[in-house]
Amino acid sequence: MFQKILIANRGEIACRIIETARKLGIATVAVYSDADRTAKHVAMADEAVHIGGPAPRDSYLRGDAIIAAALTTGAQAIHPGYGFLSENPDFVESVETAGLIFIGPSAQAIRAMGLKDAAKKLMQAAGVPVVPGYLGENQAPEVLASEAAKITYPVLIKAVAGGGGKGMRKVSDPKDFADALASARSEAATAFGNDAVLIEKYVEKPRHIEVQVFGDGKDAVHLFERDCSLQRRHQKVIEEAPAPGMSLDMRAAMGDAAVKAARAIGYKGAGTIEFIVDASDGLRADRFWFMEMNTRLQVEHPVTEAITGVDLVEWQLRVASGESLPLRQDQLTITGHAFEARLYAEDVPAGFLPATGRLDHLAFPVGARADSGVRAGDVISPWYDPMIAKIIVHGPTRAVALSQLSRALAQTQVAGSVTNLAFLGALARHEGFARGDVDTGLIERDLMALTQAPTASDAVKALAILAAAALPDDALAGFSLWAPLQRALAVMHHDETISATVAALGPQRARVSLGGACLGATRSHGVWQIDGAEPLPVIKTASAIYVFAPQGAFAFTPVDPLARDAAGAGAGNATLSPMPGLVKAVFVTAGQTVAAGDRLAVLEAMKMEHTLTAARDGVVAEVLAQAGDQVEAGAALILLAEPDEA
Ligand code: MV4
């Protein structure tokens, strides 16, 4: 086994690999860009080497810098993770030329699967079912059109160098063929620098079912299937294993086909054979076809780990260091059912726009696996994939695992960025999904219902108001300090100002009036409950209040109570502390001239800092508090001179 490896990646997958390396007693070297100096993967690794600027081509795609880092630190092997250099055969060759081991397949195996037409021909020869179609060299439009007619419509035009749906066109009517071909070609030329296409019979109601394979260069096994049909614009959203509705004979047929595919190229390491399945008539053992092979560890590998009990990264390290396959096919079994949901920083109602931000608060559910490359306080930067975490659950049955997923998502808390958490939750509760009625069109068909921004209920608003009010929690002192008993407060939610009054009925009881509604609140152990309902987690950061409801996280901005109170004091001379707190700083001295809005002092209450501002122009007559003072609600902190004295 290796003593030290370098991980040529970042984020959750780098962290994932470091964890298994540590378990096996292997030292780790991280590499990082300028944007990742303080990233979690850097903190987790034993050593870290800076390799360049934040743009991937200036760092994580710099094979030379990464190989140099491995040689300098004495790493014996390089794990590429997924993405970046993981499927770059030239990089594999450079790694080997430098006398290092690439933890993954050979350059030759990667090249064999790199182009769709060549891969399809190879698979066909190996006895793997492929979608009927045309794979010929002759790319003349009239030849392609006549081949399409032979296949029978509808057909799909695909770029041979394609991926992610680029350069792909469905054609249902022969009269549209020429135009579709021209546009597929030009897209392929732009995206891949290769305008060659192949033509396939279009598969109706497609499901994406892939088989995990593992080879040691001599033999190969499969670790069953994953269903990744829940996609949006070719981005996987929720994956599961095993595939719902899979029969034993179809599983055996797909597993055999996948192992044949891996053996045909003498495959070494973890790989995935992606099949397209015609689900228009349920799953049938003669209705799956090879699509492509991914010659790397995939994002969704944890669902396979959950149902098989195999640590796939451990297998990668063992096989790369020269061991043969750790288990035979007959030693591999499926236990239960697993789901993985991909939690992203993205604005779903705005059309799934990637988002950025500092994660002020991050909490993952207990009882679920959360693979994440970020911690609370970390930033989702615009440079990389905005994935925050993968939430993985494993239960005895699909129904149990799905309700675990729903609960786990409801218990995941992210503050500081918008996320797709509500969308994932809506999917986990989707009836068709619960029935196992998954196909690649499910999300688009129900997009409206799935992406509706949840609206904040009065109870959620009341919790935000109570967090902003920060009623003293001290049973002995608190109540008497609360003056006045009734107080007006406001918080912002998106562009809406929510104004409310809070009446303190006792240290642990309050009434919140907002928009005509009147809600009763009781508190125990610092947690408010509205009208006896299940309490919801509330997080208060320096600039926002987050209420985590089952249907989503709601962010509110407090309207600074001191600024309001100071403004409300109008022509009054005293700036009062409207709540008990700690004076953090005083910025003025007696005799100083101030203008309306100038900062006078900072008060800390409930871990929030409030800036106290001058209500009007004037001259400071007296400073009654200094930094470090604990002050009560209503205490005068700064006095301005009478206007006519100035
Ligand atoms: C297809 C297909 C229907 N018929 N091939 C999309 C990306 C690439 N991996 C393969 N893709 C498809 N190939 C034939 N002959 C439909 C798709 C397809 C799809 C496949 C898997 C998951 C999601 C998809 C979404 C749209 C189209």
The per-residue pLDDT for range 179-196, each reduced to its tens digit, is 999 999 999 998 889 999
**Is residue 154 reached through a cis peptide bond, with omega within 30 degrees of 0 on the bond before it?**
yes
The percentage of the chain sitting over the pLDDT mark of 70, rounded to a whole number, equals: 95
Ligand 1 site, residue 291, Cβ cutoff 6 A: yes
The pLDDT assigned to 635 comes to 77
**One-letter amino acid of 387:** M
Ligand 1 site, residue 441, Cβ cutoff 6 A: no
**At a CB cut-off of 8 Å and minimum separation 6, what does 291 contact?**
131, 208, 274, 275, 276
Q: Do 369 and 305 form a contact (C-beta atoms < 8 A)?
A: no
The H-or-E segment that residue 10 falls in is: none
Q: Do 463 and 498 form a contact (C-beta atoms < 8 A)?
A: no
Active site residues: 296
Ligand 1 site, residue 120, Cβ cutoff 6 A: no
**Structure tokens of 245?**
């509705």
Question: Does the pLDDT of residue 323 top 80, yes or no?
Answer: yes
Name residue 490's beta-bridge partners: 499
Of the ranges 111-125, 274-288, 332-346, 608-622, which is most confident? Answer: 332-346
Residue spans of beta strands (DSSP E) within 1-122: 4-7, 27-33, 47-52, 77-79, 101-102
Atom number, ligand 1, closest to the C-alpha of residue 229: 22
Query: How far is CA 140 from each of CA 117, 144, 344, 363, rounded to the nearest angstrom?
Result: 16, 6, 43, 57
**Is residue 242 reached through a cis peptide bond, with omega within 30 degrees of 0 on the bond before it?**
yes
Average pLDDT (357-381) is 96
Q: Do 514 and 458 form a contact (C-beta atoms < 8 A)?
A: yes
Rounded to 5 degrees, φ, ψ at 279 are -105, 20
Q: d(Cα 338, Cα 224) in Å, to the nearest integer?
A: 12
Q: How many A from CA of 206 to the centre of ligand 1?
A: 7
Sign of the C-alpha dihedral computed for residues 279, 285, 289 and 294 taken in this order: positive
Q: What is the three-state SS of 209-234? A: EEEEEEEECCCEEEEEEEEEEEEECC
- Identify the CA nearest to 272 among candidates 249, 251, 290, 246: 290
pLDDT tens digits for range 119-151: 999 999 999 999 999 998 999 999 999 999 999
Name residue 50's beta-bridge partners: 32
Q: Do 307 and 337 form a contact (C-beta atoms < 8 A)?
A: yes
CA 211 to chain centre: 23
Name residue 582's beta-bridge partners: 604, 630
Residue with tokens 């560890």: 297
Q: Do 566 and 560 form a contact (C-beta atoms < 8 A)?
A: no
Q: What is the three-state SS of 499-547? A: EEEEEEEECCEEEEEECCEEEEEEEECCEEEECCCCCCCEEECCCCEEE
The pLDDT assigned to 568 comes to 39
Q: Do 41 and 32 form a contact (C-beta atoms < 8 A)?
A: yes
Question: Does the pLDDT of residue 427 top 60, yes or no?
Answer: yes
The pLDDT assigned to 446 comes to 94
User: How many other C-beta atoms can be found within 10 angstroms of the C-beta atom of residue 508?
Assistant: 18
Ligand 1 site, residue 398, Cβ cutoff 6 A: no
Cα–Cα–Cα angle for 467, 473, 478, rounded to 5 degrees: 120
Average pLDDT (94-119) is 95
Question: Does the pLDDT of residue 581 top 70, yes or no?
Answer: yes
**At a CB cut-off of 8 Å and minimum separation 6, what does 564 contact?**
490
| Residue identifier of the C-alpha nearest atom 23 of ligand 1 | 440
Q: In terms of C-beta density within 10 A (0-12 exposed, 13-18 middle, 19 or more buried), how is residue 299 classed?
A: buried
Question: Does the pLDDT of residue 18 top 90, yes or no?
Answer: yes
Q: Do 502 and 489 form a contact (C-beta atoms < 8 A)?
A: yes
**Structure tokens of 153?**
């419509």
| Residue identifier of the C-alpha nearest atom 7 of ligand 1 | 165
> Poorest-confidence range of 82-96, 206-220, 307-321, 478-492?
478-492
Q: Do 280 and 205 form a contact (C-beta atoms < 8 A)?
A: yes
Q: d(Cα 430, Cα 446) in Å, to the nearest integer?
A: 9
Q: Is 166 or 305 the better-scoring residue by pLDDT?
A: 305
The pLDDT assigned to 477 comes to 43
Residue 144, CA atoms < 13 Å, CB-side half-sphere: 26
Average pLDDT (553-563) is 78
Query: How many residues comprise the chain?
Result: 646
Q: Is 46 helix (H, G, I), strand (E, B) or coil?
A: coil
> Poorest-confidence range of 58-72, 392-406, 464-478, 506-520?
464-478
Query: How far is CA 268 from each of CA 220, 228, 230, 235, rounded to the nearest angstrom?
Result: 8, 24, 29, 27
Question: Does the pLDDT of residue 566 top 70, yes or no?
Answer: no
> Poorest-confidence range of 33-47, 223-237, 394-408, 616-630?
616-630
Report residue 485's pLDDT band, with 50, 70 and 90 as the boundaries.
low
Q: Is 82 or 639 the better-scoring residue by pLDDT?
A: 82
DSSP 8-state class, residue 417: S
Q: Is 568 helix (H, G, I), strand (E, B) or coil?
A: helix
- Helix ranges (DSSP H) in 394-454: 398-410, 421-428, 431-434, 442-445, 447-451
Pick from 440, 442, 444 the residue to mutate for probing ligand 1's pocket: most ligand atoms within 8 Å of its CB.
440
Name residue 79's beta-bridge partners: 7
Question: Does the pLDDT of residue 385 top 60, yes or no?
Answer: yes
**One-letter amino acid of 503:** A
The H-or-E segment that residue 127 falls in is: none
**Is residue 484 reached through a cis peptide bond, with omega within 30 degrees of 0 on the bond before it?**
yes
Residue with tokens 């990744």: 228
Q: Is 537 or 645 the better-scoring residue by pLDDT?
A: 537
Mean pLDDT of the chain: 92
Q: Is 411 or 560 the better-scoring residue by pLDDT?
A: 411
Atom number, ligand 1, closest to the C-alpha of residue 131: 15
The pLDDT assigned to 356 comes to 87
Q: Is 81 or 501 the better-scoring residue by pLDDT?
A: 81
**Structure tokens of 100?**
């290092």
Report residue 482's pLDDT band, with 50, 70 and 90 as the boundaries.
very low
Pick from 231, 280, 291, 300 the residue to mutate for probing ligand 1's pocket: most ligand atoms within 8 Å of its CB.
291
Q: How many A from CA of 227 to the centre of ligand 1?
A: 14
Question: Does the pLDDT of residue 483 top 90, yes or no?
Answer: no
| Residue identifier of the C-alpha nearest atom 6 of ligand 1 | 165
Ligand 1 site, residue 159, Cβ cutoff 6 A: no
Output the CA torsion 458→464→469→475 (10° steps): 90
Question: Does the pLDDT of residue 507 top 80, yes or no?
Answer: no
Average pLDDT (34-55) is 97
The pLDDT assigned to 606 comes to 64
> Poorest-confidence range of 133-142, 230-239, 627-636?
627-636
Average pLDDT (428-439) is 94
Average pLDDT (12-33) is 98
Question: Does the pLDDT of residue 571 top 70, yes or no?
Answer: no
Q: Is 330 or 543 the better-scoring residue by pLDDT?
A: 330
> Poorest-confidence range of 9-23, 140-154, 580-594?
580-594
DSSP 8-state class, residue 74: T
- Entry pTM: 0.85
Q: Is 1 or 582 the better-scoring residue by pLDDT?
A: 1
| Residue identifier of the C-alpha nearest atom 8 of ligand 1 | 165
Q: d(Cα 495, Cα 498) in Å, to the nearest integer?
A: 10
The pLDDT assigned to 474 comes to 61
Sign of the C-alpha dihedral computed for residues 372, 373, 376 and 381 taken in this order: negative
The pLDDT assigned to 488 comes to 80
Q: How many A from CA of 70 to the centre of ligand 1?
A: 39
